[in-house]
Copies of this chain bind each other. A is one copy, B any other.
Amino acid sequence: MELFAVPDLPEIRAGDDLASLVAERIDLREDDVLCVASTVVSKAEGRTFDLDDFPAGDRARGIAARLADVTGEQKDPRFAQAVLEESVELLLEAPFILAVTEFGHITVNAGIDRSNVPDGDLLLLPENPSASAAGLSEALGVPVVVTDTSGRPFRYGQRGVAVGWAGIPASRDWRGETDRDGRELAATVQSVVDELAGAANLVAGEGDGGTPAVVVRGFEFGDHDGSENLFREEADDLVRAALREWAFDG
């Protein structure tokens, strides 16, 4: 398996045809998966906004005040408003906003980016990253993973994660298969799109040297069942339940 960056992508602007920009730069093969940073998908889809686009309501002002109290730094209530509008629920308001996006992803600030935004103040995640991936996948003829970077409980640091995907199942199901001694594997459902996103992030870098599109060549999904589920349902997420209770009823 091999990974390499799509070379020389220009700065992406609203309306750009991302699939063509990739196809012009690289001959994709049947055994490729294209991993694209959500930032460039968002830019192409015009998800750049100004803070003024989000006049703060009462709740956003309350959250900004609470954040300022807890962190000691002034927070813009319009930013909190943007997070609220991108979310179906907040799991935490302070010391950072942990939000559930419309499409089910749980991440800080609903994934809204304040760096790498040349034409505005804020870059929102794609509205429906798996639909974005499907469009790119159809145009390019290979599976596509739309990636972001995200922190996580229990472990320091961020790693690449999938926020959308198409042409490949979210995970590979090993249940019912056996180990070398013929015993059934206790595990496991393997989240291959997250692992692809993380692998791509090793090559992509960040910042001014960053390359937002990475080809993974030669990954074999193999003859396994797949699942399209990546974001936990509430009923399957003890941590979400615990966090909600702790943050808001505690």
Q: Give the interface of A toward B (CB within 8 A).
A: 1-4, 11, 92, 95, 106, 113-116, 118, 149, 152-161, 170-171, 174, 177-192, 194-196, 198-199, 201-203, 205-208, 210, 219, 222, 227, 229-232, 236-243, 245-247, 250
Within the complex, which residue of B190, B243, B246 is in contact with A157, where a contact is CB–CB below 8 Å? B190
Q: In the complex the two chains form, is B158's CB within 8 Å of A191's CB?
A: yes
Contacts A116-B180, A190-B206, A207-B185 known; A160 to B195 CB distance under 8 Å? yes
* Contact in complex: B170, A157 (CB < 8 Å): yes
CB distance from A120 to the nearest CB of B (A): 12
Q: How many copies of this kind of chain does the complex include?
A: 2
B92, B199, B243: the one contacting A198 at CB < 8 Å is B199
Are B237's CB and A154's CB within 8 A?
yes
Nearest-Cβ distance from residue A84 to partner chain B, whole angstroms? 19
Contacts of A180 in B (CB 8 A): 11, 116, 118, 207-208, 210
Do A149 and B237 contact each other (CB < 8 Å), given the known contacts A1-B202, A180-B118?
Answer: no
Is there contact, CB below 8 Å, between A155 and B161?
yes
How many angstroms from the CA of A158 to the CA of B114 in the assembled complex?
30
Q: What are 7 A-B contacts with C-beta separation under 8 Å?
A: A1-B4, A153-B237, A154-B240, A155-B231, A156-B191, A239-B242, A243-B243
Shortest Cβ distance from A109 into B: residue: B186
Q: Chain B contacts of A106 at CB under 8 A?
A: 154-155
* A202 partner, pick from B92, B158, B219, B236, beta carbons under 8 A: B219
Nearest-Cβ distance from residue A212 to partner chain B, whole angstroms? 10
Q: Are B113 and A186 in contact (CB under 8 A)?
A: yes
User: Top 8 closest A-B pairs, CB basis?
Assistant: A157-B191, A153-B239, A199-B199, A242-B246, A195-B198, A198-B198, A157-B171, A106-B154
Task: Tell me whether A159 and B115 are in contact (CB under 8 A).
Answer: no
User: Which of chain B's residues have a CB closer than 8 A to the CB of A245?
Assistant: 242, 246, 250
- Residue contact A154 to B239, C-beta cutoff 8 Å: yes
Are A229 and B156 interface neighbours, CB within 8 A?
Answer: yes
Whether B174 lies near A206 (C-beta < 8 A) is yes
